[in-house]
Structure 1
Amino acid sequence: MQAVESGAAPTKPAWRGGFGRLWTAAVVSRFGDALRTAALPLLAVTLTSDPFLIALVTACGYVPWLLFGLLGGALADRVDQRRAMWAVDTVRAALVAAFAVAVGTGHASLPLLMALAFTLTTLGTLFDNAATALLPSLVPSGALGSANARVMTGQQIAGSFLAAPLVPVLLAVSVAAPYGVDAASYVLAAALVASLRPAAPERAPRKPGSTLRAETAEGLRTLWADRTLRGLCAATTVCNIGMGALIATLVLDITGWLGAGQSGYATTVTAYGAGSAVGGLLAKPLARRCGRIGSVLLAGAVQTGCLVAIGSVRELWVTVAAMALFGVLGMVWNVNLATLVQERAPEAMLGRVSAAFRTLSVAGAPLGAVLGGAAAASWGLNTPALLASGLFVAAVAALIPARAA
């Protein structure tokens, strides 16, 4: 196990050097991604009014984790993580640029949206696992919590305060503009990551004849053997079923059930991002007071109440306020979860353990997206939020044994 935070170790990452460039790359990339993810649902509703088909677009953005997530983690432990990240971003830039051309020339279609979501996430399985494994080589172990909070907070500020309000402006210029800017953000992020010079991780020589399959299985066993990470993984999986249902149908809830239109949807997304930015500031103080697991437990309990409000009160201001608070606690959850994985996983296996955690937990999201679309079509556009609230109750219950570990 890696050493946990101690009083003698630095508790804040230094901005100069590698961490500052990695932070900038993450924030720039998130800015572009936020433009794309906010614009895609609005593009999807112009192509179909079927809630189930719209939900399938979201589901396609999660399925690759089930197919390739474990492989991505094993590769991240084998290859130069820095090179893997900039290479992936270069490819993603080319794909999104091509998609922008297709949209601009009137060739957008639901199958194309699904294919783009699937391909970008497939590449992301390697990128995300490599990024998780790379961060501990750029900051002291005692500063991991602060580093994760700063990266995630910066990403939320860029995505919510800068990108989300800009989407309507870019769409007024051209329907393809958000995707063109996203492609440019990938190029800049790739250049920043390529300039990093991280310390090489300590890796034991691989056993003769070792295979990716065997190394992947080792990561799964390591995750299962840690009671805390096992409980967190189970809880996050259940939460992600609910999140998949909510995210896949949120645009329908806002524009249909509430009748708030595109401006209401943009306001809600912005409120969620603003709350997430605040949550990044609160994650470390809450961890000091409640412990990392206690903070996650508190976050899940409060988020349950937010989901009930979203699904039962037909007022835009209630949904906006609930989504803002939901974002605060979501960031608290994510920062402490990421830090626990980095602290508790062996350094040489961080990519595989992270991949096992992500793959198992993300598995719930495509199922949730499909369930959310079916619930919205059968029982009403507000029901996915209520479905998610019930799942969050189950997730909070799953966290209790992990806290006792």
Structure 2
Amino acid sequence: MVQTPAARTRAASPALGGRYWVLLTGSTLSSLADGSFKVALLLVAKATTGSPALIAGVSFAATLPWLLASLPAGAIADRGDRRRIMLAANIARGVLLAVFGVLCVLRVDSILALYLVAFGAGVAEVFYDTSAQAIVPMIVERPLLPRANAAQQVADQAANQFAGPALGGILIGIGAAVSSFTSSGLWLLAVAGLLLVRGTYRAAPQAARSTLRADVAAGVRFLLRSRVLRSITLRVGMTNFAGSAVTAVFVVYAVGRGSVLGLSPAGYGLLLTVSAVGSILGGLLVAPLRKWIGDRGLMTANIITQALQIGVPVIAHDAVVVGAAFVIGGIGVALWNVSVVTVRQRLTPPALLGRVVSAYRLVSWGAMPVGALAGGLLAEVMPIWGVFTLMAAVTLGALFGTSSWSAARIASEESE
């Protein structure tokens, strides 16, 4: 990519720059809409059916696009203007939720409609998130990436996991249509924010235009050749599988009379927000902890805290105790996200970043629909606490094989 005069100015200054903060504002609005929407959709499903498998189907539909569309989304992000792809994705989500709001006004109660909305929003999410990660190194200089990623982590968790779930739980108490129209409006506000990010954000042009299939294959090959990225990808696939299995049925454990926690929809939304408190705290702690224990230590800590978050509800049936475990788990998520995103950006050429992100997420996020499906089916034949116990064990299994995450190995691959 040709460096502009503005980019040269940023290189001489430690500031992240105005374009980054405008981008972050738009991304935060998008995250707020996403967090509210996903919680609201599960609560609507809980009100529509009592079947754990059918409720888990919403999470399956929402995450299935990562398995189906992540690779082409990465190739398209490396071919096209990444900002325009993000704009198109948010417009699509805004329109889709507006249509769903109309269906709610007309009292069209259908689990199939929930699946279709979840899947459609999921497809848009794949394209948005892939381009959003790939655009950051085009706006800030490489030495500032840890700081930029940490700020993005704090903002995303504050909106997606803190304010979003609370807002979704409250709005569902008013009505599903109100919740849908609010999410739609937030995504369209995010579009307005992205329109203020000036410039063109295409990856470096290729010497000869190749096919989409060849572009996808190049990203997959790069990921497979990197021992560091390959190991990280496999282990996050395991933890995401387990986490998604638990998330898909947690609403059955937590919401309504006869459930273990007996929470209201608003209480459920508030419980989920405490995880974001931990994530915000983790985002603020990343820099000092990274100096102390390094990227490998940060990523390993996340595996342990995720197992704790999943396992505590097995032995503690109190919302306060479960909430405390969620805070600890949230800290781990922040440590993982910032360190993994930074390592991936350091090891991947800018022109390949979109495809490498998508190949990574094919495994890591593609495991989520499989986990959601597994969680729902397991909950039909075993108690919820049994699902939690099994998935905590799967998460701890990810601790094996983390030796390739050493600072020396990361530095070696970066210099190649």
With the shorter chain as reference, the TM-score category is over 0.9
User: Structure 1: where are the runs of 5+ without partners?
Assistant: 1-7
Q: 1:227 aligns to what?
A: 227
| Alpha carbons 1:311, 1:384 under 8 Å: kept | no
Q: Tell me, what secondary structure is at the counterpart of 1:222?
A: helix
Q: 2:412 aligns to what?
A: none
| Alpha carbons 1:257, 1:382 under 8 Å: kept | no
> Which deviates further from its counterpart, 156-165 or 129-138?
156-165
Alpha-carbon distance, 1:92 to partner: 1.5
Measured in 2, the distance between the counterparts of 1:217 and 1:161 equals 37
| Alpha carbons 1:18, 1:198 under 8 Å: kept | no
Q: 2:105 aligns to what?
A: 104
Q: Does 1:60 align with 2:61?
A: yes
Question: How many percent of aligned residue pairs carry the same amino acid?
Answer: 30
The verdict on how the C-alpha distance between 1:306 and 1:173 changes in structure 2, with shifts beyond 3 A counting, is closer
Q: 1:286 aligns to what?
A: 289
Q: 1:85 aligns to what?
A: 86
Alpha-carbon RMSD across the aligned residues, in angstroms, is 2.0
| Alpha carbons 2:169, 2:268 under 8 Å: kept | no
Measured in 2, the distance between the counterparts of 1:97 and 1:12 equals 41
Q: 2:280 aligns to what?
A: 277
CA offsets per residue over residues 349-382 of structure 1, 9 Å max, x none? 0000111001111121111111111222211122
| Alpha carbons 1:62, 1:365 under 8 Å: kept | yes
| Alpha carbons 1:9, 1:142 under 8 Å: kept | no
Q: 2:301 aligns to what?
A: 298
Q: 1:379 aligns to what?
A: 382
Measured in 1, the distance between the counterparts of 2:13 and 2:342 equals 13
- AA aligned to 1:83 is R
Measured in 2, the distance between the counterparts of 1:42 and 1:248 equals 11
CA offsets per residue over residues 90-147 of structure 1, 9 Å max, x none? 1211111101111122113111111111111112222211111111111111111111
The verdict on how the C-alpha distance between 1:146 and 1:198 changes in structure 2, with shifts beyond 3 A counting, is farther
| Alpha carbons 1:57, 1:114 under 8 Å: kept | yes
Alpha-carbon distance, 1:176 to partner: 1.2
CA offsets per residue over residues 234-282 of structure 1, 9 Å max, x none? 1100111101111101111112233334344223212112111111111
Residues 338-377 of structure 1 mapped to structure 2, 5 A cutoff: 338-377=341-380
Measured in 1, the distance between the counterparts of 2:370 and 2:181 equals 30
TM-score (norm: length of structure 2): 0.90
| Alpha carbons 1:247, 1:369 under 8 Å: kept | yes
Residues 78-227 of structure 1 mapped to structure 2, 5 A cutoff: 78-198=79-199, 200=201, 203-207=204-208, 210-227=210-227
- AA aligned to 1:118 is F
Q: 2:339 aligns to what?
A: 336
Q: 2:246 aligns to what?
A: 246
Alpha-carbon distance, 1:31 to partner: 1.2
User: Structure 2: where are the runs of 5+ without partners?
Assistant: 1-9, 410-416
Measured in 2, the distance between the counterparts of 1:160 and 1:364 equals 20
Q: 1:307 aligns to what?
A: 310
Alpha-carbon distance, 1:398 to partner: 3.3
Q: 1:21 aligns to what?
A: 22
Structure 1 residue runs of 4 or more that deviate by more than 6 Å after TM superposition: 8-11
Measured in 1, the distance between the counterparts of 2:375 and 2:284 equals 31
| Alpha carbons 1:297, 1:396 under 8 Å: kept | yes
The verdict on how the C-alpha distance between 1:378 and 1:11 changes in structure 2, with shifts beyond 3 A counting, is farther
Measured in 2, the distance between the counterparts of 1:379 and 1:174 equals 33
Q: 1:4 aligns to what?
A: none
| Alpha carbons 2:36, 2:169 under 8 Å: kept | no
1:398 alignment partner, one of 379, 396, 401 = 401
The verdict on how the C-alpha distance between 1:198 and 1:390 changes in structure 2, with shifts beyond 3 A counting, is farther
Measured in 2, the distance between the counterparts of 1:36 and 1:174 equals 13
| Alpha carbons 1:9, 1:141 under 8 Å: kept | no
The verdict on how the C-alpha distance between 1:94 and 1:356 changes in structure 2, with shifts beyond 3 A counting, is same
| Alpha carbons 1:201, 1:347 under 8 Å: kept | no
The verdict on how the C-alpha distance between 1:227 and 1:11 changes in structure 2, with shifts beyond 3 A counting, is farther
The verdict on how the C-alpha distance between 1:122 and 1:167 changes in structure 2, with shifts beyond 3 A counting, is closer
